[in-house]
Amino acid sequence: MDKAYINNVQYHLPEKIESNSEILQSAKYDNTKIDKMIEKIGIVSRRIASDAEYSNDLGIIAGKKILKNYDSKQIQYLIFCTNTPEYSLPTNACIIQDKLGLEKNIGAIDIILACSGYVYSLSLAKSLILSDQAKQILLITSDTYSKFISKKDAGTRILFGDGATSTLITNQKKTHGFEIKNFVYGTDGSGFQNAVIHNFGSRHWKNKVSSGDNLNLNGPGIYEFALKRVPEAVNVFLKKNSITLDEIDYFVFHQANKYIIDNLQSKLKISKNKLLMNMNEIGNTSSSSIPIVLSKHLPKIKENKKILLIGFGGGLSWGISLINS
């Protein structure tokens, strides 16, 4: 039976840098509080898409980074994961297929999911390979949350950055390849109000003050959800796969913010040197946060290492996957 491997991960960030200190100063926070807030969330600055850049644009650039060293004709399926799609019709993956010059006899699909989206997309890619529907899959994640956050909502603005990633998933392991192993999923739609945009559609978006037009984020609600559901899910995963926490070499949490990850690390009793992170100058990039971390760290990881990927966020939704070097 075929196996599924992550063989390359790339990412792209917009050029514009937005300083969290400047955002908070503009919102009239005093310097002492600003320093404490930035230290708590672990995010100094973020990249922000220009007025002319949308999720598709960032995703296309990320995709080209993979295809620079891979024959586009080999791609048999395109998965595009976003929670800020440029269009509700047509499927954005179809547009990206054309812009990347991929073959026309391939599958292309959007997955609308936030911070757990990468894990769920990996599960779809693996299923396609194991069911012999595709051998080479291009997975792109991309979000531009900045277009959905009110300029007056400094507390939310300082968390989210824009960005995109691309992942090459195939049935054969290449240099620095990682086998995609097992999964655990979770969904609790009763908590959807903790992260919601009531009025949707980013192509003709104008940043408004209306609570229905912008991202409404209940930070304490997300924190409580994460601290309850993530440890439960990790323990379910370990039991289901007959492994212990100590056998996991590295952990990649969704990069929500440092405060949440620190508390998850403490609750699960994980050694800090096992945490792989990359949010200081990037922020929370939703479905792109885990693959951005992977892009930075995977080339350095030695053979026979286990990495646990843990996504959680809006939905409410969570997902866990193990990958092995």
Predicted confidence at residue 208, as pLDDT, reads 47
Predicted confidence at residue 4, as pLDDT, reads 97
Name the residue type at position 211. Answer: S
| Cβ(165)–Cβ(291) below 8 Å | yes
Predicted confidence at residue 214, as pLDDT, reads 75
Predicted confidence at residue 204, as pLDDT, reads 45
Q: Which domains does the chain have, with CATH numbers?
A: 1-325 (3.40.47.10)
Predicted confidence at residue 209, as pLDDT, reads 44
User: Distance (Å, rounded) from C-alpha 54 to C-alpha 84?
Assistant: 9
Rounded (5°) CA angle 149-285-82 = 85
Q: Which residues are catalytic?
A: 115, 254, 284
User: Distance (Å, rounded) from C-alpha 207 to C-alpha 229?
Assistant: 33
User: Distance (Å, rounded) from C-alpha 306 to C-alpha 181?
Assistant: 10
Q: What is the pLDDT along the chain (325 residues), one digit of tens a residue?
A: 689 999 999 999 999 999 999 999 999 999 889 999 999 999 999 999 999 999 999 999 999 999 999 999 999 999 999 999 998 889 999 999 999 999 999 999 999 998 999 999 999 999 999 999 999 999 999 999 999 888 889 999 999 999 999 999 999 988 789 999 999 998 878 777 777 666 665 554 554 444 556 777 777 788 788 888 999 999 999 999 999 999 999 999 999 999 999 999 999 999 999 999 999 999 999 999 999 999 999 888 998 999 999 999 888 899 999 999 9
According to DSSP, the β-strands at 16-19 and 45-48 are antiparallel
Predicted confidence at residue 198, as pLDDT, reads 60
Instruction: Determine the distance from the C-alpha atom of residue 26 to the mean position of all C-alpha atoms in its chain, rounded to a whole number.
Output: 29
Predicted confidence at residue 47, as pLDDT, reads 98
User: Distance (Å, rounded) from C-alpha 255 to C-alpha 42?
Assistant: 10
Nearest residue to 9 (alpha-carbon basis) of 112, 121, 129, 84: 121
Q: What's the residue count for the chain?
A: 325
Predicted confidence at residue 71, as pLDDT, reads 94
Q: Classify burial at 221, counting beta carbons within 10 Å of its beta carbon; exposed 0-12, middle 13-18, buried 19 or more.
A: middle
Give me the residue label for tokens 């959800």.
225
**Its pTM surpasses 0.75:** yes
Q: How far apart are the first and last CA of the chain?
A: 19
